[in-house]
Amino acid sequence: MSAKDFRFLEVSRQTPRTVPVPVRVLGYSEISGDFAASEAATQSERCIDCGNPYCEHACPVHNYIPNWLKLVQDGRLFEAATLMHETNPLPEICGRVCPQDRLCEGACTLEQTAFGAVTIGSVEKWVTDEAIRQGWRPDLSLVRESGRRVAIVGAGPAGLSCADRLRRAGIAADVYDRYHEIGGLLTFGIPPFKLDKAVMRTRREVLEGMGVRFRLGIEIGRDLDFAELVDGYDAVFVGTGAYTYVDGRLDGRDLNGVHDALPFLIANVHRLLRDEVPSATYDMRGKHVVVLGGGDTGMDCNRTAIRLGAASVTCVYRRDEANMPGSRREVGYSREEGVQFLFHKQPVALLGEDGRLNAVRVVDTELVAGADGRMRPQNIPGSESDLPADVVIQAFGFQPSPPDWCQVHGVALDPSGKILVGGAGQLPFQTSHPRIFAGGDNVRGADLVVRAVHDGREAAGSIARMLADTPVAQPVAAVA
């Protein structure tokens, strides 16, 4: 071993500096700064290249993490960016929004010691941002066009990932989306302080440079019949996400002041993009806000309410902190920005007067091990209490809401509405219709961005395999 293999003894774990709390809560800019090139290289040198890269195994797209960390150490920026894109079509996005503490960094060998994990996510973000800024672009010079065409429904992470991989295989990709910007919930659901929308615009430029064609502001089933895609393309990929929010079915959910997380977040991003003041519906100034739910969406709601001027924000979660599904980093940011957490509390009703919310009734819980080993909350009788609230935001999660045209075209669903893929005799991510593929949250239910990226990537591989074995149909109708 060389001295470099023990750099972690000399160099402590360091993440880029964040904007001070009193400044960050005044606006919506990304709060995390960037490494300088020397800092990225020094942090990359902390990797011990342990020979059994647990970080790589824990990453849903199985990034070649030790390999590109070595390239960063050696100052080979463009090669590092190229290697990142071999496994992840959206590395600058995953570097920002992935819960690395539960994935790659959580599995880092150094994380199991007092030295702390390599700052993988921050390096990933820096490499992609800096390489693109310096002019790096995917090299498609050796790609041979196949003459095949695929329609992609949904410009979220699964759809964008699929489009990237199809173009690398020489397959034309047209991406349809009802919004006028790409990204899906990356753009309209994730707040700008986590993911600046300029990042999505840059990724759009990169993809368009690869030959991806975006057809935005078009809702399939309303503006264009899905049958036209099935008839006009060699294959279709459906990446429509999960937009149906889980209804906690709490008494009082129709009171004024009760909101669901996704409409709240989407409305705020829309008004930021239009540079408008908050609407009366989502006016939080001087109000006591209670967020119900402990996932990353709940953390987004916490931090958005703070920026909207709430007098207080309290996050209620039915388990303990160790069992929260949200990123530890996002929980920490919420705390720094003034959010209070109440654990072991289960909401049971929303209370109000004259049609207006004024409290949340909660009951204490205790954790009991379930059959699957996960600790499950059990209500403690007689422990009810009322928590004053002017506003409640319900962040209980999301479910797929498959469009009607799925079943019309023979795409099988499970009872919860998830699209069924990869069954017996099918390629991975192939639906019951042989030329329709699907992936992301409409297959998994609400899940991580990086898993949607994985699905789009793998679905593109399946589409390419199917088309390679399928004669070109004559003629193929064109969709304008």
Mean pLDDT, range 393-413, rounded to an integer: 91
On average, the pLDDT of the chain sits at: 93
Residues 378 and 265 in one domain: yes
User: pLDDT > 90: what percent of the chain?
Assistant: 84
Residues 430 and 348 in one domain: no
Domain of residue 207: give its range.
Answer: 149-243+399-468
133, 168, 184 — which closes off a domain?
133
Residues 203 and 270 in one domain: no
Would you place residue 2 in the very low, low, confident or very high pLDDT band (cuts 50, 70, 90)? Answer: low
375, 396, 417 — which closes off a domain?
396
Tell me if 8 is assigned to some domain. yes
Residues 377 and 259 in one domain: yes
Query: Above 90 in pLDDT, residue 248?
Result: no
Tell me if 291 is assigned to some domain. yes
Tell me if 474 is assigned to some domain. no
Residues 38 and 59 in one domain: yes
396, 412, 434 — which closes off a domain?
396
CA dihedral 466, 469, 472, 476 (to 10 degrees): -20
CA distance linking residue 443 with residue 447, whole number of Å: 10
User: pLDDT > 70: what percent of the chain?
Assistant: 97
* Among the listed residues 305, 198, 219, 325, the one whose alpha carbon sits nearest the alpha carbon of residue 257: 305
Query: Above 80 in pLDDT, residue 374?
Result: no
CA distance linking residue 473 with residue 358, whole number of Å: 63
Tell me if 143 is assigned to some domain. no
How many CB atoms are located within 10 Å of the residue 322 CB? Answer: 9
Residues 122 and 253 in one domain: no
Tell me if 442 is assigned to some domain. yes
CATH number assigned to the domain comprising residue 210:
3.50.50.60
Residues 218 and 297 in one domain: no
For the purposes of burial, counting CB atoms within 10 Å of the CB of 368, is it exposed (0-12), middle (13-18) or buried (19 or more)?
exposed
**pLDDT of the residue at 476:** 47
CATH number assigned to the domain comprising residue 86:
1.10.1060.10
CA distance linking residue 401 with residue 241, whole number of Å: 8
Number of domains in the chain: 3
Tell me if 411 is assigned to some domain. yes
Residues 459 and 386 in one domain: no
**pLDDT of the residue at 325:** 86
Cβ contact 44:70 at 8 Å: yes
Mean pLDDT, range 81-98, rounded to an integer: 97
CA distance linking residue 422 with residue 420, whole number of Å: 7
Tell me if 139 is assigned to some domain. no
Residues 339 and 364 in one domain: yes
Query: Above 60 in pLDDT, residue 478?
Result: no
Query: Above 80 in pLDDT, residue 473?
Result: no
Query: Above 50 in pLDDT, residue 475?
Result: no
Would you place residue 279 in the very low, low, confident or very high pLDDT band (cuts 50, 70, 90)? Answer: confident
Tell me if 308 is assigned to some domain. yes
Residues 269 and 371 in one domain: yes
**pLDDT of the residue at 163:** 98
Residues 233 and 342 in one domain: no
Residues 29 and 92 in one domain: yes
* Among the listed residues 143, 131, 156, 138, the one whose alpha carbon sits nearest the alpha carbon of residue 86: 138
pLDDT digits (tens, 9 = 90+) for 29-76: 999 988 989 999 999 999 999 888 999 999 999 999 999 999 999 999
Query: Above 80 in pLDDT, residue 344?
Result: yes
